[in-house]
Amino acid sequence: MKVVIVGGVAGGATAAARIRRLDEQAEIVVFERSGFISYANCGLPYYIGDVITDPEALTLQTPESFFARFRVDMKVHHEVIALHPDRKTVSVKDLETGREFEESYDKLILSPGARPTQPRLPGAGSDKLFTLRTVEDTFRIKGYIDAHHPKSAILAGGGFISLELAENLRGLGMDVTIVQRPKQLMNPFDPDMAAFIHSEMRKHGVRLMLGHTVEGFEERDGGVDVLLKDEPSLHADMVVLAIGVSPDTALAREAGLELGIKGSIVVDDRMETSVPDIYAVGDAVQIKHYVTGEDGLISLAGPANKQGRIAADNICGGDSRYLGSQGSSVIKVFDMTAATTGINETNARKAGLDVDKVILSPMSHAGYYPGGKVMAMKIVFEKETYRLLGAQIVGHEGVDKRIDVLATAIHAGMKATALKDLDLAYAPPYSSAKDPVNMAGFMVENIAKGIVKQWYLEDMTSLPHGITLLDVRTAEEYRGGHIDGALNVPVDELRERLDEIDAAKPVYVICQSGLRSYIAARILMGEGYDAYNLAGGFRFYDTVMNDRCLIGSATACGMDKKDTHLVPER
């Protein structure tokens, strides 16, 4: 059996190695148009920022090492320029010599990946404009920085690459501005959770120009003007376009393979295309979202590697199936970590799901053990069924392990109420006896049993008339910043001061994180009041509203604010 693989990075390299492990006699040829195979895309920004200093560390394998171990013929600087399914061959061009030839196959795997989206804008051909996708792109950017010592950079786009590059360019001492049309960074997150990411970026000196449309580029004074719609232009020494990627599927289109979203390659759960004996994996393929079952595109290394393994299994006579992707991801944002899995609230509602959420601010480990830090967690679930749909966490240490627990729970089809039952490891330096994941489960269970009723930040503009806003934090916290019009009665004084609260009016309760307000709501409900607890508390409200004011999307901040103390809940 002869297998030809187009593309030698994540999915292609994984498939090649797996085929060899399953079939020692197979002939395997990989064509990769760049000069590198099996390289770590996610590490590229860190080489630019001198966090990774050895360029060889970016490549997990070389053609020589791959051949020595797997006897796979890795042909770099070879571009497949056409597919011929009728005669089971591919046309190949040697980019070093210009020679063209045909290569036959019994089975073909397409792993072409995705290309950086290139807007057709005036001035987009400037040599001071860069994209970052390949090792060659990385060396080009790094070489430009080393040769010209730019003092400023504009990044167009607000996804993974842009944020990682912003951090690394700031580490080199550059002024960095991120410009993009949406009013938030990192679309896998809901806008409210993205506010925490925005705050961290601004804290480290990154200027955010959100909600602005780039219309072109002009070279001026040794740098580049970025032209904005209905706004003054921005000037920088260099620009990086990081506005997303598009499936690289011209070959598939010309060969008549069935295509899907954004021209992606349609595959079945065995990773086989519409043409027999041709498989496709990685960023170029359309997948099913594990949570919604809808078709989608997810450009992440984990799914690409799994798909490569599955295609290899099936080529070698097995029956492996790809169950879909839930988009689990994590990113370092300066001193913070942000992670997500499943679907966010925004996309769940777009998908027509009836959803609810809990928002909590637990400590990364036991509060009495030094060094603990607050994280913000948002858990999204389906009403009535309590099916767990997604989670987002922004914080410091411990974020990654919590998101992985939640990703596993989603994959297992657990209900959000079942999170309380998970038996998770505890020691004071690492967690609390009631882990943050367990706490989320307790909160959902309280909602399911009617023990607590919630109100949400988005309700602020439509609160009914004739209610009482009750802030149960300390007087000092209240003076530091509060929602305009809120009555302050600290929770520990509430029972003695119930006569200050009109029992005929619904009471909307606020505290720093939602814990003390939950206790207050239970006291009030026990005394016959109609009480509601603010999801996320004032810390969450404050971060989101400050962000909206900075972006310019809020009509009013809605807050009498002097200074907000982000302290652990007591």
Catalytic residue annotation = 42
Q: Which is nearest to 15 in space by CA: 260, 278, 197, 198?
A: 278
DSSP H helices in 9-62:
10-22, 44-48
Between CA 463 and CA 450 the distance in angstroms is 21
Between CA 488 and CA 516 the distance in angstroms is 13
Q: How far is CA 229 from CA 52, 545, 548, in A?
A: 37, 26, 21
Q: Which is nearest to 132 in space by CA: 160, 174, 172, 173?
A: 160
The answer to whether 100 and 81 are in contact (CB under 8 A) is yes
Between CA 405 and CA 410 the distance in angstroms is 9
Q: Which is nearest to 13 in space by CA: 52, 47, 53, 59?
A: 59
User: Edge-to-edge, what's the strand order for the sheet holding 487-488?
Assistant: 454-455, 531-534, 507-510, 468-471, 487-488
Between CA 141 and CA 128 the distance in angstroms is 9
Between CA 138 and CA 47 the distance in angstroms is 8
- Strand-pairing partners, residue 488, are 471
Q: How far is CA 246 from CA 264, 266, 345, 370, 508, in A?
A: 8, 15, 25, 46, 46
DSSP character at residue 463: P
Backbone torsions φ then ψ of 311, nearest 5 degrees: -60, -40
Please list, in sequence order, all residues whose beta carbon lies within 8 angstroms of the beta carbon of residue 231, skipping any fewer than 6 positions away: 212
Tell me which residue has tokens 């000196």.
205
DSSP character at residue 151: S
